[in-house]
Chains A and B, each alone.
Chain A
Amino acid sequence: MSVLSAYRLVRRSSASRKVAVLAPLGALVATIVLNLCLYLAMGKDAGAVFHAMLVEPLVSWSSFSEVLLKMTPLLLIAQGLAIGFRANVVNIGAEGQFILGAIFAASIPVWFPQATGGWIWPLMLLLGGIGGALWAVVPAFWRVRLNASEILVTLMMSLIATQLLAYLLVGPWKDPMGFNFPQSVMFQMDATLPLLIPGTRVNVALVLALVVTLAAWVYMQRSFQGYQLVVGGLAPQASAYAGFAESRAVWLSLLIGGFAAGLAGAAEVAGPLGQLQRSVASGYGYAAIIVAYLGGLNPIGILFSSLLIAILYIGGDNAMVSAELPVAAVRVFQGSLLVCYLAAITLVRYRLVRVKSEVRA
């Protein structure tokens, strides 16, 4: 007979608020120290790297405006996704819904390249939202009627969306003057979003994303429907007993998520891109899943997590340009921050307890 000791995670009865705030900060510090060692080992100027990566995005106006630009689609998509995630409707196909939003929005400048008027970009955004929501109809229908996993169906719909985009760009929507390059015509002025801050690329979509954030907060905190969604996610049986329909939750979650992602896609083509290109599918839909969970599926938390992830993207690119950091090291920084954060969050919710167990030989 021997006595072994092991560690086990035991859920805390309640997480202290102070620790909950300190955990992300601790994760950030741990990440910085870890990566500092890495850069020193690589023989890089660690000070320059950190300045480029973490300070410059916040203190240089040109970099910070890019952070805001990058944050906009992440924020929009993540707010939409979080509503579903809380109801346990796992839509991981925001990328596809984003692409459909971009395609729907692009239909106006592609079909009516000469059209002018202030109505064009709002209509494009609306169409984008509708396109994203329509793409989410398929997984919603299959989940409700055929009980097909929305996780798989939404993911697969994204692959189809990529192919649809490729088809349009090498086929009917190809710029006739573009030497066969797979891209649409450049959009006319009225088909691009008005800039919010002159001299930057920040456009009205940022305001839209903030409004959506506010709406999401009100919806989840204050509306009965939001409450039904949360209960359905936490305790499906209790929810059903109370008469909340699961199918309604699935429809609502997917349509809202799809609409938000489509809106973001429309804002991307009508914003910084200015034409429909394959590179519109740049992974925002997947990154937003991380953003949603990092923000604790809370609308206000997501506001901060989208800002953080945007800073990491912009800072990472800055570090490549200014501090000659290889792209792989940038990814290591971003990845290690997520790992540290997840570890910290785990320790907020759980205690590490040393357990002595008796094992019979």
Chain B
Amino acid sequence: MTSTLNRRNFLRTTAAMGLAAGFAPAMALAEDGTLGITLVLPSPLGDVGWGRALANGLEPVKAAYGDKVKVTILENIMEGPDADRIMTKSVADGSKFLIAGSFGYQNGALQIARRNADVSVLHASGFMVAPNFTPFAARNYEGTYLLGMAAAALSKSGKLGTVSAFAIPELITSINAFTLGAQAINPAAEVAVVWVNSWFDPAKEQESAKALIAQGCDVIFSNAQDTPSVVDICEKSGAYVCNLNSSMKAYAATKYLGCAATDWSPFFLEQVKAHFEGSFKGHNAFLGMAEQVEKVLDWSADIPADVMEKIKAREAGITSGEAPVFAGPIAKQDGSEGVAAGAAMKDEEIVAMDWHVKGVTTPLPN
């Protein structure tokens, strides 16, 4: 048989090959003991921020298990019906370990957990618990308390500001702790808040930071922004700046105060191990300095040595549990008693905190 390769023939053959490839069944997955781990993120995965911290937390898991795990990261997945479908699809494709990286995935992820008893689900920032469904959150407030101490030491005006995403307890506690930390150094320190009402809106975040600086705030806390939007403005405007999740020092060479960072790897390693051993159990995972998940990185060299000593002492107290952040007496914004002297807030009170401490000047959006 002879065949001539002319143009028409070539086109026809390639087209047929393309079609054949297209109709070939998708590769079988996860039938060989490999654990499919899927991380779903609400915003684009950048070099810094919330998503990056979660993704980095999986690196040691990959290193520890090698070929036995297959990590898939799905970024920029909108909360709601799309996320529900995508998570369902990845579980149907063989992922047995799902990390739902945003509060808004709660309902969909919980349904998946209920329908698939063999799937282990970790859900960020939520409050629902099921036998195979663990909500997890970092005690960011432990880090922001220390940042507040440093902020008050470096502020000339005593006016601090924060650009914050949503008025949910997790972020409210971060602001409250930042304020309490500042007051530990300068009792007259005040904190103004701008709520952006978005997890990802760099333009609005920058406008908010500018507004705070224009009002006289000279240290800004970038509360849950995924890009260096606020950090960048502060460096340019000469205001000190600190943030959450992962260090943004590279974007503020002179004005970077520090980062209340999260290292998820100890937690992820522990949970993946539990899944392999069949001992995964849904629980409320509230992780702080004691678990080595919460830590403050990249302290500014401008912080006076005596303040740094106080910060380190408090850090040790928080880690050991001897000096918790929300220990009374704490006054509410309106002056009424928030926490009585001698008492300390319990975890279930902290995760539901819906009031500001005295010294936060902006009222909470009801």
Contacts of A166 in B (CB 8 A): 197
Decide yes or no whether B232 CB sits under 8 A from chain A.
no
Smallest CB-CB separation from A69: which chain B residue?
B81
Smallest CB-CB separation from A268: which chain B residue?
B81
A48 and B26 contact, CB distance less than 8 A:
yes
Q: How far is the CB of B166 from chain A (nearest CB, A)?
A: 6
| Contact segment of B70-78, B141-149, B308-316 | B70-78
Decide yes or no whether B103 CB sits under 8 A from chain A.
yes
Decide yes or no whether B79 CB sits under 8 A from chain A.
yes
Contacts between chains A and B (CB distance < 8 A), count = 105
Decide yes or no whether B82 CB sits under 8 A from chain A.
yes
A47-B24, A277-B104 as given contacts; A282 in contact with B89, CB under 8 Å: no
Chain A positions 248-307 with a Cβ under 8 Å from a chain B Cβ: 268, 272-275, 277, 279-280, 282
Would you give the 0/1 interface string for B82-105, flagging 1 where the beta carbon is closer than 8 Å to chain A? 101110111011000000000110
Contacts of A181 in B (CB 8 A): 103, 166, 168
A62-B92, A320-B74, A327-B44 as given contacts; A46 in contact with B21, CB under 8 Å: yes
Smallest CB-CB separation from A36: which chain B residue?
B18
Q: Secondary structure of the A side of the interface?
A: helix
Decide yes or no whether A179 CB sits under 8 A from chain B.
yes
A279 and B79 contact, CB distance less than 8 A:
yes
B167 and A180 contact, CB distance less than 8 A:
yes
Assembled-state Cα–Cα distance A31/B36 (Å): 31
B22 and A327 contact, CB distance less than 8 A:
no
Contacts of A190 in B (CB 8 A): none
Interface size class, chain A? 35 or more
Decide yes or no whether B16 CB sits under 8 A from chain A.
no
Decide yes or no whether B80 CB sits under 8 A from chain A.
yes
Assembled-state Cα–Cα distance A51/B107 (Å): 29
Assembled-state Cα–Cα distance A279/B76 (Å): 13
Q: How far is the CB of B45 from chain A (nearest CB, A)?
A: 9
Smallest CB-CB separation from B106: which chain A residue?
A181
Which 8 interchain pairs have the tightest Cβ spacing? A47-B21, A272-B81, A279-B80, A50-B22, A279-B79, A321-B90, A321-B89, A327-B76
Enumerate chain B interface residues (CB-CB to A < 8 A). Answer: 15, 18, 21-27, 38, 44, 72, 74-76, 78-82, 84-86, 88-90, 92-93, 103-104, 107, 127, 166-169, 172, 195, 197, 351-352, 354, 365-366
| 14 chain-A/chain-B pairs, Cβ below 8 angstroms | A48-B27, A51-B24, A51-B26, A55-B22, A62-B89, A62-B92, A170-B365, A171-B365, A179-B169, A180-B169, A182-B166, A182-B197, A314-B85, A322-B89
Enumerate chain A interface residues (CB-CB to B < 8 A). Answer: 29, 32-33, 36, 45-48, 50-52, 54-56, 62-63, 66, 69, 166, 170-171, 179-182, 186, 201, 268, 272-275, 277, 279-280, 282, 314, 317-318, 320-324, 326-327
